[in-house]
Structure 1
């Protein structure tokens, strides 16, 4: 007997009640089944917006309130549009203006460009936050902003013109205003005094001039005032000390003159004070000691002076970074500074400090960065003996001190975490010290401009992380040690990637007067380099030099190297600067070097080279100065042409020959080809973000 077919929908009263209950529960749990879409006008506006940016993948078949980056209120009106970092390209569509209930708009970190649509803000009656930062939007800033707006971030765009004085009149509820990294010009307008709720005002890195408007000093709610990288002048003024709620005062990279406000201590909540790269003079105001919450104090590159030991730093229990380099401070190192137990970085370079480095510095348990270069400190043996005991020290820059003393050859132990050691420009005597062998974490060593003699020891190859070595301007003798070509960080990309990720507390590899926000706090900005210039090195350049495939800068100039230029240098495909000038090299320039596509500086002047200068690639960009002092060299860009030794003379016609078309077009085509190579290489260098780093900048920075 065939069993009865089961019913898909049982019809008993009991089952019907179960089904109705389930349906009601589903409707309660998923109300979208009842009202499955957002406001029609909002959806149409967003779909129109999305047609310009197909990567959004918004589907018309789905409730727009569930789209990525969209939030709605209880009435299904779109109130939040947040799509940062979506790689959106193009202009801002005017369809956004139809989202009249929008309260939050974030389109930051994209590639948006073009002018803001006319009256872009006029329809937003509820907008309280707008973030267009890190795009390419340009135009004048509208005088008409929503009255409801609280936070505006237009930083890192291309806005220009003047800053409207009516911003706070039209938008009195403003709390955050960030217009930094644009092209605004003119004075900072009066009018910010009416923004009674303003907490953050950031106008840095524009082209603003004039002085700080006086009415800003009346915004007692202000917590962060940031105006760096402009051309602001006059004195900072005492009235700024009325902003008693300030946590950060950032005014670096301007042309402020006069003294630091004497009553700066009224800003007792201050955590960050950055006044570096200005024209300030005078001494440290004693009231500054009242700013006990300070964590960052940066006053470098000014004309501040006085005996530094007269200032009591002991109240700064939270101070982590102090930078007062490039000033005129005198006296000895203040002992009170070593009572700031939170310090991680100290830079007092290029002042008039003297005396000795004392054991008190060991009272700073977290100290990682120390730069005291270009002063007149004495007793290098004691200094190194003390500092070597500091377990967390990673950067030590003592260049241009300890003049004419002797570099200790042994007896220094420690420095287990040291990554940068700079003792350049001290005129030290002695040999390359064997205690360097124990610095297994060191990455940069600068012993340049000293009186160091003897040979370059082969054990340097045992330093696994060393990628920048400067031994130039010494009295070193002997040959180029083949062991140097085996430095792991110059031969292995894996090793170099590992060492380059290290973070520094203060920027090192920038010129001191560089106010740019693009400062390097990582070793990744510094090129792998070997400087052996201006010594007494002899013999040939070893063919094994081709093993240093990651090197960017190689300077062997002003020595007595002889023999030929190794063709293996063409293996150094990352090379950007090669200087072999003023040696005794002979033979021809290897034509294979034209395959070095990143080579931007090349010099073989004043040797005994001969033959034709290679053509093609970067060689079409080098000037005559790269080859002068080599009478045997010929061909462009030298004036000497290369004679044809074996080619038979052309047959003589019985008619007078006209101008040779090849001789006419040849130089012209060669110029066009070379110019094209220049443009191509420059574009490639820019796109690949190469680290072109002139030696003089490196030397200046390490010393300062």
Structure 2
């Protein structure tokens, strides 16, 4: 009996083992598919996260692979693996593939011609965020009729956007061609994708008009063609697209008026029309879009009294940017009913009056820019805004003209501006002494007090602010020595600076204007160059040697002051320095040869000092002759007419010329540049007329 049971048990094990072997063999993936995947893996590599596919195992169990009941590969899903190499044509042999995602890798080269023609079952294609190039139309000659999502964004594809894509794939719900190099017009034929919900083609070289059939896409939820060259008007037919939630037409050449009945789009959540040529007034019907969360229309030719608009119904509004238009009136009181508002920009308009105390009711407000208007009463404005406890970015530049900036330390207590990171008060022609109340703003990272008439000394405590990495005190009346102690400016001491640790995005972009260069847009604080600008003051004494400890510093401008003594040879330690401006001082001695080791130095100017001796010629020292002008005893290097062996020229001390005198220069400074650019595309002549550094924070511009 025991033997019989044992035999039965043995038979059961053998039967189970045989069944398992047969079942595993039956489930083994198609040999054609397996070989195609092996060929694919042999064409690409990754040191970050290798595929580790092995021909000795069933490919249906490989990472990123899925199979159907017939053991055919239906899913190839391997995004963000650091894959490099070219895509082989063998991928086209996976004829049962329904889901393809190889996005966010480093794949390069051309797609094989007609690679998708045999993949008639594909529902999802995501090849975005790679380094692919070439004419995409040649690779998508025929796409499957089951395709619902196609994403080719963030590559280098050229040519025209495929015009036939909706003919072969009428079920498409999402098309993304953004961030490539496509040119030509948006093709006619999108109307055949009657189920299309998302169409994106932003950041290309597209031009022409929006095709009329795009207004027939009743299912459309989001359209983005931002940052192209598209022109024309927004047709009233857009009101037929009642499912629209996101409209991004910014950065084009659209003109005409915003449809007056745009309020008939009940689901609208985001409307981005900035940097176009729209004219007329802001449609009052827009206030019916009660789901609106983001409204950005800066950089147009819109006008009207903005204080007449009733924003109170926009209870979900989070971001509002009306900057660089021609709006008049006061800051609307109804805005203070928008309790969800986190960012407000009205830069470079014609607004006036005082900032209402009711703005403190915006408990979520973290970004405020009102620069380039005619607001008054800086004393109450700063006191009121101290009550906005979440405020991180405050840009008040080019307002309050000629008022006195409060200086007392007690003006703002320790609890005021506890989260403030960016403060811009430039171009206001403020008088008064240095604002001691900044001592309490310990979270400050960026400060712009340029182009005012602030007097007195730069206080010693200033360098103790723990996160300050960008300082602009240029074009003021500051005097005395610039003191830098051993552990001052801790955020500039090394690459591990505190300002790099929290790389949060700004709610709205900030623009910085510099001499002889287009305005630079910054969307993140950490992208701003660590900098100290003290030019155009009356600072004296030696250049502090301790500056050499600020190894994270990229821009240093001490020009147009009264600094004397030698240029510290220790400045060679500023290994990240890109700009060193020391012109128009009383510096003497030689240019330290050690500065040749500043490998990133792109701009160097020591003109109009009392320097002497040979100009360094190694390393980065291939600067223009004008960088050394006004130093008669300098020789060699670029000064081919002043070789060192023949030098015998008397010392000539620098004298301020009338146009460089601080007072005269400030009073004659072009008003359009002080206030901020009044047009979207400033003229080249206007920029060329600006020969001296002008750092000014505002949110208008391109």
What's the TM-score, normalizing by structure 2? 0.88
Give 1:88 deviation, angstroms. Answer: 2.2
Within the candidate set 80, 88, 103, 2:83 is matched to 88
Give 1:538 deviation, angstroms. Answer: 1.1
Alpha-carbon contact 1:431-1:452 (below 8 Å) kept:
yes
Alpha-carbon contact 2:466-2:491 (below 8 Å) kept:
yes
Taking a change above 3 Å as real, the CA distance of residues 382 and 32 of structure 1, as seen in their structure-2 partners, is farther
1:412 to 2:407 alignment: no
Give 1:497 deviation, angstroms. Answer: 4.8
- Looking at structure 2, the residues matched to 597 and 548 of structure 1 have their Cα atoms a distance apart, in angstroms, of 16
Within the candidate set 103, 106, 111, 1:111 is matched to 106
Within the candidate set 125, 128, 132, 1:133 is matched to 128
Say which is worse superposed, 133-142 or 419-428, in terms of deviation: 133-142
Give 1:510 deviation, angstroms. Answer: 6.0
- Looking at structure 2, the residues matched to 445 and 643 of structure 1 have their Cα atoms a distance apart, in angstroms, of 43
SS at match of 1:197: coil
1:466 to 2:468 alignment: yes
Within the candidate set 38, 44, 55, 1:53 is matched to 44
SS at match of 2:252: coil
- Looking at structure 2, the residues matched to 35 and 286 of structure 1 have their Cα atoms a distance apart, in angstroms, of 67
Quote the residue 1:241 is aligned against. Answer: 239
Alpha-carbon contact 1:225-1:250 (below 8 Å) kept:
yes
SS at match of 1:273: strand
Could you list the per-position Cα deviations for residues 451-497 of structure 1 after superposition, in whole angstroms to 9, with x for gaps in the alignment?
Answer: 10011110102211111111110001111123497111111443435
Quote the residue 2:60 is aligned against. Answer: 65
Alignment of 1:429-448 (within 5 A): 429-448=431-450
- Looking at structure 1, the residues matched to 369 and 395 of structure 2 have their Cα atoms a distance apart, in angstroms, of 5
- Looking at structure 1, the residues matched to 460 and 452 of structure 2 have their Cα atoms a distance apart, in angstroms, of 20
Taking a change above 3 Å as real, the CA distance of residues 387 and 24 of structure 1, as seen in their structure-2 partners, is farther
Taking a change above 3 Å as real, the CA distance of residues 481 and 64 of structure 1, as seen in their structure-2 partners, is same
Give 1:504 deviation, angstroms. Answer: 2.0
- Looking at structure 2, the residues matched to 345 and 152 of structure 1 have their Cα atoms a distance apart, in angstroms, of 34
Alpha-carbon contact 1:186-1:210 (below 8 Å) kept:
yes
Could you list the per-position Cα deviations for residues 33-75 of structure 1 after superposition, in whole angstroms to 9, with x for gaps in the alignment?
Answer: 4436211111111112122124432111010011111110111
Higher Cα radius of gyration = 1
- The CA RMSD measured in Å over matched residues stands at 2.3
Quote the residue 1:149 is aligned against. Answer: 147
Alignment of 1:385-424 (within 5 A): 385-410=383-408, 411-413=411-413, 414-424=416-426
Quote the residue 1:585 is aligned against. Answer: 587
Structure 2, gaps ≥5 residues long: 648-690
Quote the residue 2:639 is aligned against. Answer: 638
Quote the residue 1:453 is aligned against. Answer: 455
1:524 to 2:515 alignment: no
1:699 to 2:696 alignment: yes
Within the candidate set 2, 6, 14, 1:15 is matched to 6
- Looking at structure 2, the residues matched to 327 and 131 of structure 1 have their Cα atoms a distance apart, in angstroms, of 39
Alpha-carbon contact 1:356-1:378 (below 8 Å) kept:
yes
Could you list the per-position Cα deviations for residues 152-196 of structure 1 after superposition, in whole angstroms to 9, with x for gaps in the alignment?
Answer: 001112222222332211111111111111122211122111111
Quote the residue 1:196 is aligned against. Answer: 194
Alignment of 1:257-406 (within 5 A): 257-406=255-404
Taking a change above 3 Å as real, the CA distance of residues 188 and 276 of structure 1, as seen in their structure-2 partners, is same
Alpha-carbon contact 1:509-1:526 (below 8 Å) kept:
no
Quote the residue 1:40 is aligned against. Answer: 31
Quote the residue 2:567 is aligned against. Answer: 565
Alpha-carbon contact 2:130-2:155 (below 8 Å) kept:
yes
- Looking at structure 1, the residues matched to 612 and 498 of structure 2 have their Cα atoms a distance apart, in angstroms, of 37
Give 1:226 deviation, angstroms. Answer: 0.6
- Looking at structure 2, the residues matched to 558 and 697 of structure 1 have their Cα atoms a distance apart, in angstroms, of 14
Within the candidate set 543, 546, 549, 1:544 is matched to 546
Give 1:90 deviation, angstroms. Answer: 2.4
Within the candidate set 481, 497, 502, 1:479 is matched to 481
Give 1:136 deviation, angstroms. Answer: 2.2
Could you list the per-position Cα deviations for residues 523-566 of structure 1 after superposition, in whole angstroms to 9, with x for gaps in the alignment?
Answer: 11011111110001111112222121211111000011111101
Could you list the per-position Cα deviations for residues 351-395 of structure 1 after superposition, in whole angstroms to 9, with x for gaps in the alignment?
Answer: 100000111101111000000011010000000010011111111
Alpha-carbon contact 1:509-1:698 (below 8 Å) kept:
no
Say which is worse superposed, 474-483 or 226-235, in terms of deviation: 474-483
Alpha-carbon contact 2:163-2:187 (below 8 Å) kept:
yes
Could you list the per-position Cα deviations for residues 555-591 of structure 1 after superposition, in whole angstroms to 9, with x for gaps in the alignment?
Answer: 0000111111011111111111100000011100000
- Looking at structure 1, the residues matched to 187 and 361 of structure 2 have their Cα atoms a distance apart, in angstroms, of 48
- Looking at structure 2, the residues matched to 422 and 117 of structure 1 have their Cα atoms a distance apart, in angstroms, of 53
SS at match of 1:486: coil
Taking a change above 3 Å as real, the CA distance of residues 43 and 472 of structure 1, as seen in their structure-2 partners, is same
SS at match of 2:310: coil
Give 1:148 deviation, angstroms. Answer: 1.6
Alpha-carbon contact 1:428-1:451 (below 8 Å) kept:
yes
Could you list the per-position Cα deviations for residues 253-307 of structure 1 after superposition, in whole angstroms to 9, with x for gaps in the alignment?
Answer: 0000011111111111011100000001111101111111011110011111101
Say which is worse superposed, 233-242 or 249-258, in terms of deviation: 233-242
Quote the residue 1:618 is aligned against. Answer: 620
The structure whose RCO (Cα within 8 Å, separation 6+) is larger is 2
1:607 to 2:609 alignment: yes
- Looking at structure 2, the residues matched to 525 and 319 of structure 1 have their Cα atoms a distance apart, in angstroms, of 27
Could you list the per-position Cα deviations for residues 631-680 of structure 1 after superposition, in whole angstroms to 9, with x for gaps in the alignment?
Answer: 0111121133434499xxxxxxxxxxxxxxxxxxxxxxxxxxxxxxxxxx
- Looking at structure 2, the residues matched to 13 and 74 of structure 1 have their Cα atoms a distance apart, in angstroms, of 40
Alpha-carbon contact 2:273-2:296 (below 8 Å) kept:
yes
Say which is worse superposed, 481-490 or 408-417, in terms of deviation: 481-490
- Looking at structure 2, the residues matched to 519 and 626 of structure 1 have their Cα atoms a distance apart, in angstroms, of 28
SS at match of 1:50: helix
SS at match of 1:152: strand
- Looking at structure 2, the residues matched to 313 and 568 of structure 1 have their Cα atoms a distance apart, in angstroms, of 57
